[in-house]
Chain A
Amino acid sequence: KAGVTQTPRYLIKTRGQQVTLSCSPISGHRSVSWYQQTPGQGLQFLFEYFSETQRNKGNFPGRFSGRQFSNSRSEMNVSTLELGDSALYLCASSLVGVEQYFGPGTRLTVT
């Protein structure tokens, strides 16, 4: 079975731009979560989607948004990028809510 895939793996954007990241979960997994990892703040939960509905949300500004499609693939969008948004964005999928499997991440650099 293929693991969680994330595209693109690396991205460089300029302040003020917006970005969309994509995540394809393990086949059959309906829960997809997003996390932001930075050296200063560590791993922080962004949001979780289950069956196309946002089930949980972390403490991030409204510039961070996401969605999930009927095939469970998920996208997250960050608008009006700031330098502080530079991070590794990790996606994880889960089948029954106990075990969570992570993708390799998308490294976003904002200049």
Chain B
Amino acid sequence: GEDVEQSLFLSVREGDSSVINCTYTDSSSTYLYWYKQEPGAGLQLLTYIFSNMDMKQDQRLTVLLNKKDKHLSLRIADTQTGDSAIYFCAESITGNAGKSTFGDGTTLTVKP
């Protein structure tokens, strides 16, 4: 079945780069997503990558996909204290985001 795994915690210094990693099991995943959740809020879609791509860059965010190893990463350049949040990796098997499988989330703490 589908399973998505992430490390639970990451701590970085302000100004450094953050790299959040994710592994997934289902090779038929068509889209892979990164979401951000701040305390008391819903999930904010940050970016996504189609499974036939290796990399996607969007301003400070870079997504890398290694389809052979089923590994996805999110790099945040010049991390700021406002980036402190929980980051979720998710996969969509059917190409329909409406039924996504989520990881448990990585809590990113940015220290000044």
Measured CB to CB, the residues of A under 8 A from B are: 4, 31-33, 35, 42-43, 45, 48, 50, 55-56, 58, 90, 92, 94, 97-105
Contacting pair A98 B42 (CB below 8 A) = no
Looking at the assembled complex, report how far the CB atom of A18 sits from the nearest CB atom of chain B, in whole angstroms: 24
Contacting pair B42 A97 (CB below 8 A) = no
Contacting pair B88 A97 (CB below 8 A) = no
- CB-CB under 8 A from B33, the residues of chain A are 100
B98 within 8 Å of A by Cβ? yes
Count of chain A to chain B residue pairs whose CB atoms are closer than 8 Å in the complex? 67
Name the contact of B97 in the complex, choosing from A4, A58, A94 (C-beta under 8 A).
A94
Name the contact of A43 in the complex, choosing from B40, B44, B97, B102 (C-beta under 8 A).
B102
Main secondary structure of the interface of A (DSSP, over half): strand
| Interface size range on B against A | 20 to 34
Contacting pair A98 B99 (CB below 8 A) = no
Measured CB to CB, the residues of B under 8 A from A are: 31, 33, 35, 40-45, 48, 88, 94-105
A–B pairs, 15, beta carbons within 8 Å: A42-B102, A43-B43, A45-B99, A48-B96, A55-B96, A90-B43, A92-B98, A94-B96, A97-B98, A98-B48, A100-B33, A100-B97, A100-B98, A104-B41, A105-B42
Contacting pair A56 B98 (CB below 8 A) = yes
